[in-house]
Structure 1
């Protein structure tokens, strides 16, 4: 298995990366002015912020946040470090990601199930846990030299920001305070995706249509577009906003909200002129967590739309794509 970034400069799209005609992005033209909501956290009216997030969660399943309190310097340093990581040779990257005998730090190309794929995705990726930091960090890459320091600081800020967003959602849905602060958010992971320059973006994808199997996901995507959200049967592009975070309502939050919030389907398209590197903070529960609609959101008039299920079972079903988890 070779990483896409190791051979993509030959200007050829191998047949194994050409997707079926029905899933190819083609030469899609996104209508001008169409994008997901941008929410300013510097607003003084908390109720207004709550309502904007709920509306975005219901209608799009996505929104961007600005003035969120995370240092722009840290965001820039994080983007620099992850680009430096993916600029290293495949051998170097593999060496840096093989320190944990349990394999918690995973470096791969296309997907974690590469051998079984009918066709591949135009991306390289690194995923690793980040909580508790003092236990996880010793298995993170030591190169680039600032990786552990910068990503460690970034993880702390992402935990704070994700908790803040979940508390706002919690309040908006009428859930008890701290509903998401225990096992539902105790197993966060970071994934760093790299989508190299692609010779023909109309024939392949960086990631296919999917929902995130998370509570929420926070994406730092830089200034290169590529993320697209499916709304009302139409793909809309998430336009990069300087120093913003893209927030994605995960499938788990769709279940917990009993369908009030939308875990929207989305995909990643590639780019002929520029590589795209992103870092996503996934808010995952522990494996033993019970995923179910919040009791306060169900009654005789609004029965549960999903069955109770353990997260480990949900995740297995989600990865198999054989069934809709918890339905």
Structure 2
């Protein structure tokens, strides 16, 4: 299931480019001059909001407010996704199930539902609310918090009636960032080993529909 949508991305991409199969899954649309000024302004403001949320998350975990600053939040990508109506939504998803590989995601759903999260063995629809962002915790935040925060498995379903457009803003580490559980958040033993973020992405993309396989590869052997 490769999904039904078109997409363009912009932002400070400091991580390695994903392999070709990633674009088969998520779709791709080149938009060289589309809404350049609006997109640039949106990106700046979304980054400010994301960093402020990360400051609050840091304080909630008992860390310094700037803990997730600098290299841990250096990468930024704005992804605009357009999902056309699908005559038979049972045949395809907009985006297959996955957890985000980054640190934090801000999603603006627009006014058409489609996002679903997996909870207690079932898929639950997340209805869009006016002027509200959905905030997704990514895999790196789960690892750094030593499982105190959990990434959320989600997908996008299609519908046969109306098109849907969403904007996802992804904040993540630089490719050479060392990711590991923060020592002050480890009670007995860390759940994960240390690794470079670029190594995580190399393992993530071939396995992104199975988060247990993705995260299991980086678990501590102690």
- TM-score normalised by length of structure 1: 0.58
Structure 2 residue 195 is the aligned partner of structure 1 residue 309: yes
Task: Tell whether the 8 Å contact from 2:11 to 2:43 is kept in structure 1 after alignment.
Answer: no
Choose between structure 1 and 2: higher strand proportion.
2
C-alpha distance in structure 1 between counterparts of 2:3 and 2:12, whole Å? 25
- C-alpha separation between the residues in 1 aligned to 2:76 and 2:148? 24
Could you tell me how far apart the structure 2 residues matched to 1:218 and 1:324 are? 22
Write out per-residue CA displacement over residues 230-249 of structure 1, whole angstroms, 9 at most, x where no aligned residue.
01111111111001111101
Q: Does 2:110 match 1:218?
A: no
TM-score normalised to the size of structure 2?
0.85
- C-alpha distance in 1, partners of 2:13/2:98? 25
Determine the C-alpha separation between the residues in 2 that align with 1:255 and 1:149.
Answer: 35
CA shift, 1:175, in A, is: 1.4
Moved over 3 A (4+): none
Q: CA deviation at 1:185?
A: 0.6
1:279 to 164, 167, 178: 167
Which segments of 5 or more consecutive residues in structure 1 lack a partner in the other structure?
1-118, 133-138
Check the 8 A contact 2:8/2:31 in 1, yes or no: no
Is the CA contact 1:140–1:148 (under 8 Å) kept in the aligned structure 2? Answer: no
C-alpha displacement of 1:276: 0.5
> Which structure would you say has the larger RCO, counting Cα contacts within 8 Å and 6 or more residues apart?
2
- Aligned-residue CA RMSD in angstroms? 1.8
Q: Which residue of 1 aligns with 2:11?
A: 129
Contact 2:8 2:80 in 1 (8 A): yes
Higher Cα Rg, which structure:
1
Distance in 1 of aligned mates of 2:33 and 2:103: 29
- 1:252, 1:311 → 2: CA distance? 9
Q: Extract unaligned runs of 5+ from structure 2.
A: 15-29
